[in-house]
Amino acid sequence: MATTSLKLPDSLKERIAKLAEAAGKTPHAYMVDAIEQEASRSEKYQAFLAEAEASWQAYQATGLAYDADEVNAYFRAKLQGVELPKPALKKYK
């Protein structure tokens, strides 16, 4: 495993020590977990952005999209146990 050093302000180091103790972890384990969680969150966000861009590109190429009012009505009905046909793609361009 590679070693990385972090220079932390004393106030942050104290906060981490208290939080780590409350979580039953060492400060090191607490920081590793925090970095892992943030890296995972950032990766998911980047994947979300990539999917949104791909969707936008597909719309630009085809002009096909779902009507927001129909989608909202479909999900409201679904939540109430009412069966509606799924919304259909429509040409908007």
Q: Residues 25-37: pLDDT tens digits? A: 999 999 999 999 9
Q: What band does 22 get if pLDDT is binned at 50, 70 and 90?
A: very high
Domain ranges of the chain: 10-62, 63-93
> For the chain, where are the E strands, in sequence order?
64-65, 90-91
- CA–CA separation, 32 and 49 (whole Å): 26
Q: What band does 93 get if pLDDT is binned at 50, 70 and 90?
A: confident
The pTM of this model reads 0.75
